[in-house]
């Protein structure tokens, strides 16, 4: 597979006053199209930073990041916004649903800004929330909320699905369900999915595993023994 | 408080400075407005109080219908303790200006120790002909000369010693703190200004008023003052009445005395006079007797003279006859002599001729003889033979002979003649000789006769001389007599005149005495009035004007406090919520509720204390200054000193503390009640709820998605929704009120003179005896104006309830043309028909404030106590002064004197030099005053121009209110939804979309608030207008459509400005926030 996602010698330095923090030192990796990639690392390793850059939420200090041939690092603010709008789907750790909108409306919120969205109701059905569409997030459980979030991300029909600790706020079983959903989506729609986590166990379900340590890529390997989610225990 | 906690508190302030400022700002605004408006009235009152204390304005004014004398002043002085009593003279006097117009000025004597004046320019008078003029009098400068008009009635003119006064100083008077100068019954009824003259300029012993100053320094208008005055007034009424009675008795007794004296004098004069007359009469009689005697004598002399004359005449006649005879003789003699001489001469001549002829004849004879001889010689021989001769010869000879014969005849004749002639001459000569003798005889007789005559003549002459002498004597005597007679006659005439005069004078004097007696009998016991300051126009007006602010002050501050409380509440609630976990931690660590709450208390407390201080300082300084600036034009331009009111300051501190600390306490309590574990858990987000609108799918499904979001958001936090509406509504209401004030007030002069009184000018003038305008004036009007309407104008009192209100009554000569000069329309714009008999049109202010509504019966009364009974048939729009219009027929019907035209409205042709035409009319002596309405309109307009400041002030306050509220709420909104906003940013919302997502709600709320504010504003405006009631002006309570538009537009502008700032804040939200955890 051609490199769908490419990081080339990415360096990220945070400057706060006189303090300089080098979050990413020299990060280079690739992810293929349609892959389910897991980026693991301890807290503070820099994986969130990678996510930020990849998601167009932050700029890099040097190097380049490329998605589907487009150089993200060269984009200005507006271009980045467009990038996020059309090309990326986000799933947050804490769901970040709009409390004031029903599940359906939350998905519509994202769908309505895309040129080629999927039908919001259909996507919700696909994630298994057919009869919870008209509920407000407060009326949904954590897992349901996360599924709505995923539906929201999917409805955008993005090139890339970024998930930041999607199961972080969920219990074991719910977490597994969510992961399964992600895996199924990846397989059925051929979407490139990147999951950031500190949970090593999850990496078993990935096609590619990138290990981050202290701002650098410690390891990149293709998973030869892809396990189904149901088979993973942690 | 522990050090770390304290540090945390102060850092908190620094880091959330926006929030801190929000609290500070709203408190400052609220306190500023509240205290500013609250302190204005006391500050104004304080200012005026200071001025009036300094200048010793009277406390009581004693007026008696008989006036007062120095004695009365002294008596009152001694009857009271700790008071100052002073007499004063005040007259309404008509003066002439240099332009020939007349004006009435209230003429006062310079004050002693009461009712002081404040010199603004120039100096105090040093001579009695100098004066102090009114600083509000545009026509008076240093050096202006005021002449006392000759049109003043005698009584007034007599009380001034001089008729010309020069202005040497200009002053403000504590007696006239406002620009109103009052009304009068002379001139055109209005008083232009006051004037102060030195006491020596007055020629009167009577004071028109006595002023009393009690020893109190209670503040003006205060209850303390009023009760002191009430008590003092009743005491002084007694004193004054007694004193007035004393004066009355004094007056009466001195009057009676004078009358007695007068009578005595009269008697004495009568006796003396009579004596003189009698004496004169006797003298005259004596003279008469003398004269009569003389006359007798003269008459007899006259007779004698007559006789003498006659005799003389006869003698004269005789003499004359003689003379004439003599003359005749003489003449004859002379003639005869002449004749004689002539005859002689003739004779001699004849003689001579004869002699001559003799000679001649002789000659001829000789010649003849010769000739004959010759002939004979020649022809003698021939003669006998004559016949034989040749004819010629014959003839010649015959002829010759004949000739000779004839000659011979001739000669003989001649000789005979001659001899005859000679004989005649001799005869004649004899006659002549005879005649001569006769003549000589005659002459001798004549000579004798002449002698006799001359003797007689002499005698006659001497007799005549004597006679003449006698005549002369007689004539002298006659002349003397006649002179004597003339003298006597004139003496007699004088006497008779004297008698007549005497009688007349006696009669007059008796009449005077009788009249005086009557007058004295008419002097009634005096009426005494003890007046306090409330009858002083300036004092009373200032009270009501300063209270206008107080009235208005009641409403606004409550509103601001409400808003301030809300803002504090939401802000602190938000803050407490944000710090929820922190509170939980502190609790868990073991800090007491008190110290935790203390942190927030300090935060809000310090913000509000700061706000309160600044607000108080600025408000109490700015508001009185600005509000006074607008009133200054109507009053003495005093400087308003800064007034600090402890109570107000403490009140505002208390209020702001209550607001901030109170709300903080409430907000904290709720949180602190929960235990730390709960606190440290993230708060469950407030559940979304369906909105009512959703149940109307017809509308709901048509809304754009993001609009639905906004609607839900708005209705989710009802508290904030409410606060926003209140805040925005208040802002719009304030703006509308501010603009509305300007609309109602600012345009009134234009409305009045552009739509109601559309005449170009009005004038006051004298009236002819038959009640019409003077001819000269009519002529000038015909020439200079394009139309005029004679009017009656008069100052009448409208009786309502048991009160009296002075209004201006007017009646035009002819109602049909009145619409060129004045429009009578109802407040709704309908044209009113002219009033018929007994009907009246009243101006809106009269109907509204004094109960003269349509259909009601009203009674008017003037100074002469004439009454008019009218029925109100229409109320017309009018903004300046209070008018009642009737038809001239009504006046003719109800008044004895009918309609007496004393004024007119005038229109000038377009594009003419109005001031020139006006000047040529106003300089006539018949015109007592002229006003160009355009000038008046401009002046009034200028007065109101300071209103712009007030409106600006209101707009600024409104803006401040709007800013604070919107900023605060939006701030809270954003900080609360930081995660949400970050999320949608991540989702790819562009910048504009992100702003709209959040700020759309603001727009909707602003719209709703603005509409509510417009409605509230209408009421607020009406309320404020009701409070601003000024006597002279009737503002039209209206708000122009433009004001509505402006209010809304400005509200939105404020909103947009805040939104722009908020957008920046939104921009700054880091998307990474979305990744953060919920707590």
Residues of A in contact with B982 (CB under 8 A): 96
Interface contacts (A, B; CB < 8 Å)? 94
In A, which residues are within 8 Å of B716 by CB distance?
100
The Cα–Cα gap between B135 and B41 comes to 25
Of the partner residues B989, B991, B1076, the one whose CB lies closest to the CB of residue A113 = B989
Query: Residue B684's closest chain A neighbor by CA?
Result: A138
Q: Which residue of B has its CA nearest to A88?
A: B987
- Residue B709 is nearest to which of A88, A100, A110, comparing CB atoms? A100
Token reading at B205: 């012993």
Q: Is the pLDDT of residue B804 over 70?
A: yes
Task: Inspect the interface and report whether the beta carbons of A113 and B993 lie closer than 8 Å.
Answer: yes
Among B822, B942, B820, B816, CA closest to B883: B822
**pLDDT for the residue numbered B947:** 67
Q: How far is B695 from chain A (nearest CA, A)?
A: 14
CB contact under 8 A, A92 and B688: no
pLDDT tops 90 at residue B96: no
* Residues 6+ positions from A150 with CB-CB distance below 8 Å: A91, A127, A166, A178, A181, A182, A185
Binary contact (A138, B980; C-beta < 8 A): no
Antiparallel, parallel or unpaired: β B164-173 and B130-134: parallel
pLDDT digits (tens, 9 = 90+) for B295-339: 888 888 888 888 888 888 888 888 888 888 888 888 888 888 887
Query: Is the pLDDT reported for residue B394 higher than 80?
Result: no
Q: Kindly report the nearest CA distance between residue A165 and chain B, in angstroms.
A: 10
Average pLDDT value for residue range A29-33: 89
CB within 8 Å: B708 and A139: no
To test the contact with chain A by mutation, choose from B720, B1075, B1076, B1077 the residue with the greatest count of A C-beta atoms within 10 A, namely: B1075
Query: Token digits for A72?
Result: 């993200």
DSSP for B165-227, please give it: EEEEEEEEETTB-BS---B-SSTTSBEEEEEEE-GGGB--S-BSEEEEE-S--PPTT-HHHHH
Decide: A149 and B1074 in contact? Cβ < 8 Å: no
B886 and B870 Cβ atoms separated by less than 8 Å: yes
Query: Considering only CB atoms, which chain B residues are within 8 Å of A52?
Result: 1071-1072
CB A33 within 8 A of CB A12: no
What percentage of residues in chain A have a pLDDT greater than 90?
10
- Strands annotated E in B801-945: 803-812, 839-843, 857-861, 867-876, 883-885, 903-907, 927-932
Tell how strand B803-812 and strand B883-885 pair up: parallel
Among chain A residues, CA nearest to B1069: A57
C-beta separation of A132 from A144 below 8 A: yes
Q: Do B980 and A98 touch (CB under 8 A)?
A: yes
Residue in the structure block whose two tokens are 């004045």: B822
A216: which strand partners?
Answer: A213
Chain A: residue nearest B1070 by CA? A57
Tell me the per-residue pLDDT of B234-272, one tens digit each, with 9 for 90 and over: 888 888 888 888 888 888 888 889 889 988 988 998 899
The whole-number pLDDT of residue B591 equals 83
Nearest C-alpha in A relative to B1076: A94
Given a cut of 80, whether residue B44 has pLDDT beyond it is yes
- Residues of A near B (Cβ–Cβ under 8 Å) read 48, 52, 55, 57-58, 77-78, 81-86, 88, 90, 92-94, 96, 98-102, 105, 108-110, 112-113, 136-139, 152, 156, 164
> Which residue out of A44, A78, A99 would a mutagenesis test of the B interface target, given it has the greatest number of B Cβ atoms within 10 Å?
A99
Q: How far is CA B438 from the centre of its chain?
A: 118
Give chain A's radius of gyration (CA, Å). 17
- For B580-602, how does the pLDDT look when each residue is reduced to its tens digit (9 = 90+)? 888 888 888 888 888 888 888 88
Average pLDDT score over residue span B865-888: 89
Tokens describing residue B650:
């403490």
CA distance B431 to B450: 28
Instruction: With CB atoms and an 8 Å threshold, state whether A82 touches B988.
Output: yes
E-only strand ranges, B17-74: 60-64
Residues 6+ apart with CB under 8 A from B536: B57, B175
User: Hey, are the CB atoms on B986 and A52 less than 8 Å from each other?
Assistant: no
User: ipTM of this complex > 0.95?
Assistant: no
Alpha carbon of B832 to those of B467, B587, B835, B886: distances in Å?
A: 107, 79, 9, 13
pLDDT digits (tens, 9 = 90+) for B997-1028: 888 888 888 899 999 999 999 998 888 887 77
For residue A47, give how far its alpha carbon lies from the nearest alpha carbon of chain B (Å): 13
Q: Which two tokens stand for residue B872?
A: 């109100």
User: Over 90: is that where the pLDDT of B614 sits?
Assistant: yes
Q: What's the token pair of residue B543?
A: 């009270």
Beta-carbon-side half-sphere exposure of residue A144 (alpha carbons within 13 Å): 17
A16-20, A137-141, A218-222, B96-100: which range is least confident on average? Answer: B96-100
Q: What is the distance between the alpha carbons of residues B301 and B478, in angstroms, rounded to a whole number?
A: 10
On the CB side of B417, CA atoms within 13 Å amount to 13
Residue B919, pLDDT above cutoff 80: no
**Tokens matching residue B221:** 């208008």
Query: Do residue B713 and residue A100 have CB atoms under 8 angstroms apart?
Result: yes
Within 8 A of A108 by CB-CB distance, chain B residues are 705
Distance CA B747, CA B757 (A): 14
* Chain-chain contact of A101 with B985 (C-beta, under 8 angstroms): no
- pLDDT for position A1: 44
Q: Which of A58, A76, A97, A100 to mutate to test the interface with B (most CBs of B within 10 A)?
A: A100
pLDDT tens sequence across B1021-1038: 888 887 776 667 777 777
Helix (H) / strand (E) element for B505: namely helix B391-522
Rounded CA separation B91/B600 (Å)? 71
Which residues lie closer than 8 Å to B28 by C-beta, 6 or more apart? B610, B611, B612, B614, B615, B618
Contact A94 B1077 (CB under 8 A): yes
Tell me which DSSP letter residue B658 carries.
Answer: I
Which one of B988, B993, B998, B1079 makes the best mutation probe of the A interface by having the most chain A beta carbons within 10 Å? B988
Let me know if B244 is exposed, middle or buried by CB neighbors in 10 A (0-12, 13-18, 19+).
buried
Between CA B712 and CA B719, with CA B713 as vertex, the angle to 5 degrees is: 115
| CA separation for the pair B602, B581 (Å, rounded) | 19
Please report, to the nearest 10 degrees, the dihedral formed by the alpha carbons of residues B514, B519, B525, B527 taken in order: 180
Interhelix angle for B947-976 vs B17-54, to 10°? Answer: 160
Could you tell me which chain B residue has the CA closest to the CA of A92?
B1075
Inter-chain residue contact A92 with B705, CB threshold 8 Å: no
C-beta atoms of A57 and B1071 within 8 A: yes
| B980: chain A residues, CB-CB within 8 Å | 96, 98-99
**Chain B residue with the nearest C-alpha to that of A110:** B987
Contact B805, B850 (CB under 8 A): yes
Contacts (Cβ under 8 Å, ≥6 apart) of B524? B65
- Our CA-based measurement puts residue B618 at a distance from the nearest CA of chain A, in whole angstroms, of 39
Query: Residue B197: its pLDDT value, please?
Result: 92
What the block records as the tokens of A197 is: 């986590």
Query: Which among B709, B986, B993 has the least Cβ separation from residue A84?
Result: B986
Tell me, what's the pLDDT at B848? 82
Of the CA atoms within 13 Å of residue B213, those in its CB half-sphere come to 17
Best residue of B987, B998, B1071 to probe chain A, by most A CBs closer than 10 Å? B987
Confidence class of residue B945 from pLDDT cuts 50, 70 and 90? low
Higher pLDDT, B395 or A110: A110
Shortest Cα–Cα distance, B711 to chain A (Å): 10
pLDDT band at residue B944 under the 50/70/90 scheme: low
Residues B6, B591: contact at Cβ < 8 Å? no
CA distance B607 to B29: 13
Q: Which residues of A touch B979 (CB under 8 A)?
A: 94, 96
Of chain B, the percentage scoring pLDDT greater than 70 comes to 96
pLDDT at B968: 82
Question: Strand A62-67 vs strand A36-41: parallel, antiparallel, or unpaired?
Answer: unpaired
Distance CA B731, CA B563 (A): 11
User: What residues of chain A lie within 8 A of the CB of B694, using their CB?
Assistant: none
Token couple for A176:
């597994």
Query: At B840, is the secondary structure helix, strand, or coil?
Result: strand
More confident residue, B1079 or A145: A145
What are the angstrom distances between the C-alpha of B625 and each of A156, B41, B539, B639, B739?
Answer: 64, 11, 20, 9, 21
- Neighboring chain A residues of B685 at a CB cutoff of 8 Å: 99, 137-138
- Total length of chain B: 1079
**B-chain residue closest to A98, CA distance:** B980
pTM of the shown model: 0.62
Percent of chain B at pLDDT above 90?
A: 9
């Amino acid at each position: 597979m051609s490199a769908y996602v490419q990081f080339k010698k990415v360096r990220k330095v945070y400057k706060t006053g006189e303090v300089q923090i080098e979050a990413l030192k020299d990060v280079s990796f690739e992810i293929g199209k349609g892959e389910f990639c897991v980026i693991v690392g301890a807290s503070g390793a820099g994986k969130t930073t990678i996510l930020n850059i990849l998601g167009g939420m932050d700029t890099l200090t040097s190097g380049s990041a490329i998605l589907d041939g487009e150089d993200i690092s060269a984009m200005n603010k507006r271009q980045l916004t467009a990038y996020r709008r059309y090309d990326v789907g986000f799933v947050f750790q804490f769901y970040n649903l709009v409390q004031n909108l029903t599940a359906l409306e939350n998905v519509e919120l994202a769908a309505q800004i895309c040129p080629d969205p999927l039908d919001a109701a259909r996507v919700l059905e696909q994630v298994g929330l057919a009869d919870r569409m008209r509920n407000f997030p407060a009326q949904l459980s954590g897992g349901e909320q996360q599924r709505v979030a995923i539906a929201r991300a999917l409805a955008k029909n993005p090139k890339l699905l970024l998930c930041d600790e999607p199961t972080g706020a969920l219990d074991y079983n719910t977490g597994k369900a969510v992961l399964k959903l992600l895996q199924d989506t990846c397989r059925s729609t051929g979407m490139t999915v990147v999951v950031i986590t500190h949970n090593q166990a999850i990496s078993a379900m990935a096609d590619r595993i990138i290990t981050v340590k202290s701002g650098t890529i410690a390891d990149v390997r293709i998973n030869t023994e892809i396990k189904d989610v149901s088979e993973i225990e942690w | 408080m522990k050090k770390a906690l304290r540090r945390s508190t102060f850092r908190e302030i620094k880091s959330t400075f926006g929030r801190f400022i929000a609290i500070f700002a709203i408190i400052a605004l609220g306190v500023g407005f509240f205290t500013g408006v609250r302190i204005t009235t006391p500050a104004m009152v304080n200012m005026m109080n200071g001025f009036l204390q300094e200048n010793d304005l009277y406390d009581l004014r004693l007026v008696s219908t008989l006036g007062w004398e120095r004695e009365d002043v002294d008596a009152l002085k001694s009857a009271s303790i700790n008071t100052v009593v002073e007499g004063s003279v005040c007259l309404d006097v008509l003066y002439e200006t240099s332009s020939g117009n007349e004006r009435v000025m209230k003429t006062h004597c310079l004050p002693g120790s009461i009712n002081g004046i404040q010199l603004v320019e120039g100096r105090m008078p040093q001579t009695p002909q100098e004066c102090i003029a009114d600083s509000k009098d545009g026509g008076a400068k240093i050096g202006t000369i005021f002449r006392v008009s000759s049109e003043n009635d005698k009584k007034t003119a007599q009380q001034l010693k001089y008729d010309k006064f020069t202005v040497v100083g200009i002053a403000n008077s504590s007696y006239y703190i406002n620009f109103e100068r009052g009304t009068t019954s002379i001139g055109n009824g209005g008083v232009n200004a006051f004037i102060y003259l030195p006491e020596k300029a007055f020629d009167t012993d009577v004071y028109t008023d006595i002023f009393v100053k009690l020893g109190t320094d209670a503040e003006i208008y205060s209850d303390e003052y009023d009760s002191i005055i009430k008590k003092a007034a009743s005491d002084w009424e007694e004193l004054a009445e007694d004193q007035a009675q004393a004066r009355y008795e004094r007056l009466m007794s001195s009057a009676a005395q004078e009358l007695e004296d007068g009578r005595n004098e009269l008697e004495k004069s009568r006796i003396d006079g009579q004596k003189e007359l009698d004496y004169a009469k006797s003298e005259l009689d004596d003279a008469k007797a003398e004269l009569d005697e003389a006359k007798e004598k003269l008459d007899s002399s006259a007779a004698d003279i007559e006789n003498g004359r006659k005799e003389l005449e006869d003698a004269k006649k005789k003499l004359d006859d003689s003379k004439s005879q003599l003359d005749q003789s003489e003449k004859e003699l002379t003639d005869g002599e002449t004749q004689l001489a002539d005859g002689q001469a003739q004779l001699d001549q004849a003689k001579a001729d004869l002699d001559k002829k003799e000679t001649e004849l002789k000659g001829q004879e000789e010649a003849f003889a010769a000739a004959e001889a010759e002939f004979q010689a020649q022809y003698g021989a021939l003669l006998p033979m004559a016949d034989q001769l040749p004819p010629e010869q014959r003839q010649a000879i015959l002829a010759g002979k004949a000739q000779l014969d004839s000659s011979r005849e001739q000669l003989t004749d001649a000789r005979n003649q001659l001899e005859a002639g000679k004989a005649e001459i001799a005869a004649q000569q004899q006659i002549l000789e005879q005649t001569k003798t006769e003549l000589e005889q005659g002459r001798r007789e004549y000579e004798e006769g002449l002698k006799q005559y001359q003797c007689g003549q002499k005698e006659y002459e001497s007799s005549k001389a004597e006679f003449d002498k006698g005549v002369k004597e007689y004539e002298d005597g006659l002349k003397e007599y006649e002179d004597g007679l003339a003298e006597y006659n004139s003496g007699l005439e004088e006497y008779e005149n004297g008698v007549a005069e005497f009688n007349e004078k006696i009669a007059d004097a008796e009449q005077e005495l009788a009249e005086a007696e009557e007058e004295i009998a008419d002097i009634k016991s005096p009426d005494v009035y003890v007046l306090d300051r409330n009858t002083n126009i300036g004092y009373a007006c200032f009270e009501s004007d300063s209270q206008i602010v107080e009235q208005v002050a009641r409403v606004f501050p409550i509103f601001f406090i409400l808003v301030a409380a809300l803002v504090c509440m939401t802000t602190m609630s938000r803050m407490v919520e944000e710090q929820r976990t922190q509170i939980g931690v502190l609790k868990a660590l073991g800090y007491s509720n008190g110290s935790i709450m203390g942190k927030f208390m300090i935060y809000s407390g310090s913000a509000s204390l700061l706000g309160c201080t600044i607000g108080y300082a600025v408000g109490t300084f700015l508001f009185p200054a600005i509000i006074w600036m607008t009133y200054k034009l109507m009053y003495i331009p005093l400087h308003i000193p800064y007034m600090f009111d402890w109570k107000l300051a403490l009140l505002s501190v208390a209020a702001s503390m209550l607001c901030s600390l109170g709300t903080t306490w409430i907000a904290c309590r709720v949180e602190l009640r929960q235990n730390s574990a709960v606190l440290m858990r993230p708060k469950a987000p407030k559940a979304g709820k369906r909105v009512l609108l959703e149940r109307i799918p017809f509308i709901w499904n048509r809304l754009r998605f993001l609009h639905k979001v906004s609607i839900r958001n708005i209705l989710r936090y009802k508290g904030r929704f409410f606060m926003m509406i209140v805040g925005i509504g208040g802002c719009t209401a304030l703006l509308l009120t501010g603009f509305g004030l300007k609309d109602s007030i600012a345009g009134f002069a234009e409305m009045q003179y552009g739509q109601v009184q559309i005449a170009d000018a009005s004038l006051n003038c004298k009236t002819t005896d038959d009640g019409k305008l003077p001819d000269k004036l009519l002529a000038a009007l015909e020439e200079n104006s394009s139309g005029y309407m004679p009017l009656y104008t008069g100052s009448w009192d409208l009786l309502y309830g048991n009160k009296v209100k002075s209004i201006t009554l007017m009646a035009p000569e002819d109602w049909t043309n009145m619409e060129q000069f004045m429009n009578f329309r109802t407040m709704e714009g309908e044209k009113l028909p002219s009033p018929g008999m007994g009907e009246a049109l009243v101006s809106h202010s009269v109907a509204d404030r004094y109960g003269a509504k349509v259909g009601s019966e009203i009674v008017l009364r003037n100074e002469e106590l004439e009454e008019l009974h009218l029925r109100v048939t229409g109320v017309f729009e009018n903004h300046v002064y209070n008018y009642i219009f009737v038809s001239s027929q009504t006046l003719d019907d109800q008044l004895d004197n009918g309609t007496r035209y004393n004024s007119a409205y005038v229109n000038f042709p377009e594009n003419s030099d109005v001031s020139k035409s006006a000047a040529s009319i106003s300089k006539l002596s018949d015109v007592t005053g002229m006003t160009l309405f355009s000038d008046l309109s401009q002046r009034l307009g200028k007065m109101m121009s300071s209103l712009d400041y007030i409106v600006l002030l209101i707009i600024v306050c409104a803006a401040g209110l709007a800013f604070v509220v919107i900023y605060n709420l939006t701030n809270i909104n954003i900080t609360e939804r930081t995660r949400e906003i970050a999320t949608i940013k991540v989702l790819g919302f562009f910048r504009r979309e992100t702003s709209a997502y959040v700020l759309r709600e603001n727009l909707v709320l602003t719209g709703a608030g603005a509409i509510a504010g417009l409605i509230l504003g209408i009421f607020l405006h009406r309320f404020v207008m009701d409070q601003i009631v000024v006597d002279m002006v009737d503002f039209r309570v209206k708000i122009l459509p433009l004001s509505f538009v402006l209010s809304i537009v400005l509200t939105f502008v404020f909103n947009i400005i805040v939104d722009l700032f908020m957008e920046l804040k939104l921009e700054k939200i880091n998307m990474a926030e979305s990744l953060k955890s919920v707590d």
